[in-house]
Amino acid sequence: MCGIVGVVGLEACSETILDSLKRLEYRGYDSSGIVIQSDGALQMNRAVGKLRNLSEMMREAPLDGQSGLGHTRWATHGGVSERNAHPHMAGDKVVIVHNGIIENHVALRVELEGKGHSFSSETDSEVLAHLFLEAFDNGLSAQQAGKEVMARIEGTFALAAMHADHPDMMIVARNASPLAVGLGEGASFIGSDAVALSHLTRDVIYLKDNDYAVIRPEGVEVFDAEGTPVNREVVIVAASQGVVDKGGYRHFMEKEIHEQPDAIAHTLAAMTGPEGKLSTPLAREDLAAIDGIVMLAAGTSHYAAMVARYWIESLARVPVSCEIASEYRYRNPVTGAFSCAVAISQSGESLDTLMAMRHAGEAGLRTIGLVNVPGSTIAREADMVMPTRAGPEIGVASTKAFTAQLTALVSFAVALAEAKGQISVARRDEIHAAIQGLPSMVGRTLGLFDDIRPLAHSLTAARSALYLGRDVLFPVALEGALKLKELSYIHAEGFASGEMKHGPIALIEEGLPVVALLAADEVMGKAASNLQEAAARGGRIILITEERAASTIDFAESVITVPNVDPLLAPVLLTVPVQILAYLTAFEKGTDVDQPRNLAKSVTVE
């Protein structure tokens, strides 16, 4: 996750920008930079490594002016180097900072190079600087330039741009990546979250997806993607901000659901090697030596393990056993068929998972910790660490950490398959390309909130609900049921749809909500027949599926569709509506969404 900040209209603003960047350090960093606009010129300092390296550079070569931008980078496109660090400049006139991924950057770069633009970094972001330069060179106003650039780019972004000849003005835009605008006395600010601005102002505007804005010291004009001026509410943020804020959402959970494009993109970056291939922190020989894996986890993380079992077995042909950590730790497991144990834990602190990992280590297995919190106990004790980069997850119910775990695990499965000689280069590249498309597909799926709201409203009256999925969607059914019950306190169970006829079908009575997960995969036909059996007994089918599979079933009461996706990745995309349904049902019921009763974020007791 990158962090961006900006200031217009404040004397000696470079100190302020540095302070704000420090508040965004939790978003991770491998390099950082600041640009200051002064007397019609742009001056920039960029440094690789921690923020203190940039602070040091700013002490040695101070930059002075009343407007500027800052950035902390977590590399996605292009390695960690000074020239890939933000800000990026075009023609010494335009400068930008960006968080997210510009998916059509290759086509844009080719087009811009054809027009004579020369690039100085390997990043996707640099095209933004050249697009803005082109727009201004064509005589467009700031407002027109913002609209023009928005129309050209695809992907996820929070961005800010400045022009040397337009003092005290910046253009910002966002889609799926967070951006807050702060209103001060004679100065305006931007930041990836309000915490970055909390020492500067309490009056904050959160831009909506596809909004852009022209920011000046005296105020802010916000436009929608069509260039129509829009009013966005000014929110008064609390004076005592914690480390992270709700970003204008009602709950941390709602915010974290929306942060998934970012969380997936940054986790993918952590699982991409310098040569641009999916990789793991393990050496190729270590991967090749893996001949059996035990996965240890609890709750939602356990469901991530169950999805990964399908991926690893089908792609890498390595046997996987998924174990509930609290059970495994007291067993006397036979470990001969396995060479390593993967402990999956968002917090890295779940005592059951930690103890299970220790147990596996004592039994002679190499341990790998898949954790979201660097420096957590599991991260410290595991022989090796695979990180997810979801950023802090505050809502007790795990959302973005789960989809980040899935992203890391599918990348691990592909890297393992490659090391085992089980995957063709063509299939490897096809999967990699499909994973790279996930952030924007998840971004589009987030648009389903309004479609799901009436459905959630109707669920509030239910006493019980079933979730059905088959094959790789079975664990997503389990996750959906867990989310609904823990948040809304409605009894819910997940089943493998093929298992229904062996008992659970007796539960179906007239009007029982049955949330059905379906993808256009090899088992679609069979899964559809299982749903038919549930519908025939009065089950109220709520179908969550890909666009192309929706017509397979004509007996569903409600249908929620997500974009078509490689069947391998369907569990990631179909998880998003399942989360939204649970969130909105709990919201409609008025339960404590972020801190459901009896639960704790990380369970460090037995």
Q: Which residues bind ligand F6R (CB under 6 A)?
A: 298-301, 345-347, 350, 353, 397-398, 482, 486, 602-603
Closest separation in Å from C-beta 385 to ligand F6R: 14
Closest separation in Å from C-beta 151 to ligand F6R: 39
Q: Which of 2, 13, 322, 340 is catalytic?
A: 2
Q: Which is nearer to ligand F6R, 164 or 360 (CB)?
A: 360
Q: Which is nearer to ligand F6R, 37 or 403 (CB)?
A: 403
251-254 contacts at long range (C-beta below 8 A, 24 or more positions apart): 251/395, 251/583, 251/587, 251/593, 251/594, 252/393, 252/394, 252/395, 252/594, 253/395, 253/397, 253/399, 253/487, 253/583, 253/593, 253/594, 254/583, 254/593
Closest separation in Å from C-beta 479 to ligand F6R: 8
Q: Please report how the helices 260-270 and 438-445 are oriented relative to each other, as an axis angle in degrees rounded to 10.
A: 170
Q: Note if 255 is an active site residue.
A: no
**What are the CA-CA distances from residue 514 to residues 120, 177, 193, 469, 470 (Å)?**
54, 33, 38, 11, 14
Q: Which is nearer to ligand F6R, 528 or 582 (CB)?
A: 582
8 Å CB contact between 497 and 468:
yes
Alpha-carbon distance 580 to 595, whole Å? 17
Structure tokens at 33: 């930079």
Q: Which is nearer to ligand F6R, 43 or 301 (CB)?
A: 301
Q: Note if 2 is an active site residue.
A: yes
Give the residue ranges of DSSP H helices in 460-603.
474-488, 524-536, 570-589
Q: Which is nearer to ligand F6R, 191 or 299 (CB)?
A: 299
Phi, psi (rounded to 5 degrees) for 174: -150, 150
Closest separation in Å from C-beta 121 to ligand F6R: 36
Closest separation in Å from C-beta 397 to ligand F6R: 4
Q: Which is nearer to ligand F6R, 299 or 333 (CB)?
A: 299
Closest separation in Å from C-beta 328 to ligand F6R: 14
Q: Which is nearer to ligand F6R, 162 or 456 (CB)?
A: 456
Task: From 171, 145, 174, select the one nearest 157 (Cα to Cα).
Answer: 174
Q: Which is nearer to ligand F6R, 299 or 494 (CB)?
A: 299
Closest separation in Å from C-beta 398 to ligand F6R: 3
Cβ neighbours, 10 Å, residue 421: 10
8 Å CB contact between 24 and 1:
no
Closest separation in Å from C-beta 402 to ligand F6R: 7
Which residues, 6+ apart, have CB-to-CB distance to 469 below 8 Å? Answer: 475, 476, 477, 494, 496, 497, 516, 517, 527
Alpha-carbon distance 320 to 400, whole Å? 24
**236 bridge partner residues:** 203
Closest separation in Å from C-beta 503 to ligand F6R: 25
Q: Which is nearer to ligand F6R, 297 or 550 (CB)?
A: 297
**Radius of gyration for the alpha carbons in the chain, expressed in angstroms and rounded:** 25
Task: From 528, 242, 539, 276, select the one nearest 392 (Cα to Cα).
Answer: 242
Nearest residue to the partner ligand F6R, using Cβ: 299
Task: From 522, 542, 546, select the one nearest 531 (Cα to Cα).
Answer: 542
Alpha-carbon distance 135 to 478, whole Å? 50
Which residues, 6+ apart, have CB-to-CB distance to 348 below 8 Å? Answer: 369, 371, 372, 373, 376, 377, 378, 379
Structure tokens at 551: 């017509």
Q: Which of 22, 277, 589, 601 is catalytic?
A: 601
CA atoms within 13 A on the CB side of 137: 13
Known catalytic residues are: 2, 601
